[in-house]
Amino acid sequence: MRHIVGDSITVTAKELKQLLRDPISLALTIVFPILLIQIFIVIATAFGAPSYDIPVVLADLDGSSVSKIFVDKMASSPLVTITQFLQTDEQALRAVERGAVTGAIIIPKGFGDAVLNGRPAYLVLQTDNSKFTASFLVQAAVSSSIASTAQELFDKFGIMFGTQATPVEVISRPISGRPPSGDAILPGMLGMITILGAFDDIVNAVTRERERGTFTRLVLSPVNILSVYTGKMGATIVLNAVRTTLMIIIFVLTGLVIRGNILLVYLVTSLIAIFTLSCGLLLSSRIRSSSTLTILEIAISFPLFQLTGAFQSPELLASGGRALTRMLPWTYGNEALRRVMYLGLGFDAIATDVTILLISSMVILPIAALLSKRTM
């Protein structure tokens, strides 16, 4: 037993020494997650920005005092920018159809008169729904401008009107008590960086060793195969700890308050890394080229962003997707990271997730070791 532990530590040290000697790989281990997280922050910021400049056109066919108030409100909306005032509704609709703008707002003739005389009034809004988020924000800008117009008319003239206001107010109470932001995706991003990092550090290293022929020599040396894999796992855990620390620092610098126990974060990322390593070793026993393996890794990682609940809760997926998500142990890792980092829950809340990750690794790692040995 002491022999196995000693050999494992030797293999771990050898892996880390090799990484230190390879400046490109070392730089990638550090730079790769930083670049990756910066891109994720760009994405999260774009979705959570307080204002946008979504281009719209407006055709005021009414020209009344009421429509002018509405136009003023639209012009001061933080969501949209009126790029052009058009004379006809055809021109406005055409601008959207051409793809020049995302929305066209048409105020029909008689709009102001209808509002002032208490008759039903309407506005026409054409949106380019191929731009999913932008068109939704244009709708929100129009609704908000109608509400502001109604308020101004009431304040100035005591006239009451508005959109069809719901009699029921829905009040949201998030259990984290945090204000709405894109921060909820950050723990999932840490999970994805852990997956990619673990795969790249060791699995690719093993494949490159295979290509160079040094892996066979390592296996033929008087070191137990279990020590070889345990040693590689040790290196993964050390590198993963470095990466997790780096990520936590970036998260804190960008304003994310980590509520739970930091040690639990390290525990979960280590388990994700070990499971990824197990899967990677399994794959590497069948795919011998390191470049093919990396391409496969990247190809799989993009769908994994969705299927492991990194960007969006797995509960919001279609039934097939939900079932698939629940079969992937990484989903439980991302879930555990969110519970610890975002909600501040303790070990009890993530015990099931941790167990699933652990059991999955314990099942896959021996199979990977066996298949690897057969390929010698």
Partner 1 sequence: MSAVKFLNDILAVTAKELRLFRRNRTAIVISLLVLPLFFTMSLGAGTGEAGTSFSATAHVPIAFVDNDMTITSGRVYSALSSSGDFNNLLQGYREENAIALLGTGKIYAVIVVDKGFEDDLLSGNKARILVYADDGEPSLDTTIVSTVEGTLLYFNPSVDVQMVPVEGASQVQIVQKGAIFSGFSVGLTIILGLVIIFATFYEIAGGISKEREDGTYARLLVSPVSLGAIMIGKTLFDLVLNVIRTLFVLAISVYLYGARPNTDFGTIMVLSLMIALLTMGFGFMISSLGAGVRAVIIIEFFLILFLFAFSGFIIDRELLRGISKSISFVLPWAYGIEALRRTILIGQPLLTLTTQLQFIILSTAVFYGVSYVLLRMSHERLAV
Site for partner 1 in 272-311 (CB under 8 A): 287, 289, 291-292, 294-296, 298-300, 302-303, 306-307, 309-311
CB of 37 vs partner 1, minimal distance in Å: 11
Q: Which residues contact 272 (CB under 8 A, 6 or more apart)?
A: 191, 194, 195, 198, 330, 333, 357
Residue number with CB closer to partner 1 (228 or 339):
339
Q: Which of 1, 2, 21, 24 binds partner 1 (CB under 8 A)?
A: 24
Find how far residue 166's CA is from the centre of its chain.
33
135 binds partner 1 (CB under 8 A): yes
Instruction: Select the span of 229-237, 244-252, 317-325, 359-367 touching partner 1 (CB under 8 A).
Output: 317-325
168 binds partner 1 (CB under 8 A): yes
* Site size toward partner 1, by CB under 8 A: 104
Q: Which helix (H) or strand (E) holds 55?
A: strand 54-60
Residue number with CB closer to partner 1 (192 or 228):
192
Residue number with CB closer to partner 1 (76 or 220):
76
The C-alpha atoms of residue 41 and residue 181 are separated, in whole angstroms, by: 11
The C-alpha atoms of residue 31 and residue 256 are separated, in whole angstroms, by: 21
Instruction: Report CA-CA distances (Å) from 347 to 161, 222, 314, 335, 352.
Output: 53, 40, 22, 13, 9
Residue number with CB closer to partner 1 (188 or 333):
188
Site for partner 1 in 184-223 (CB under 8 A): 184-185, 188
Q: Which of 122, 154, 245, 263 binds partner 1 (CB under 8 A)?
A: 122
CB of 234 vs partner 1, minimal distance in Å: 24
Q: Which residues contact 230 (CB under 8 A, 6 or more apart)?
A: 4, 8, 11
312 binds partner 1 (CB under 8 A): yes
The C-alpha atoms of residue 206 and residue 214 are separated, in whole angstroms, by: 9
Instruction: Select the span of 12-20, 180-188, 243-251, 363-371 touching partner 1 (CB under 8 A).
Output: 180-188
Residue number with CB closer to partner 1 (185 or 282):
185
**How many residues are given for the chain?**
376
Dihedral sign for Cα atoms in the order 272, 275, 278, 281: negative
CB of 97 vs partner 1, minimal distance in Å: 8
Instruction: Report CA-CA distances (Å) from 57 to 46, 135, 311, 346.
Output: 23, 13, 33, 52
Site for partner 1 in 27-56 (CB under 8 A): 28, 32, 35-36, 39, 42-43, 46-47, 49, 52-55
88 binds partner 1 (CB under 8 A): no
Q: Which residues contact 365 (CB under 8 A, 6 or more apart)?
A: 229, 274, 277, 278, 281
Residue pair 196/296 in contact (Cβ under 8 Å)? The answer is no
Q: Which of 210, 232, 243, 338 binds partner 1 (CB under 8 A)?
A: 338
CB of 344 vs partner 1, minimal distance in Å: 9
Q: Exposure of 186 by Cβ count < 10 A (0-12 exposed, 13-18 middle, 19+ buried)? A: buried
Residue number with CB closer to partner 1 (16 or 100):
100
76 binds partner 1 (CB under 8 A): no
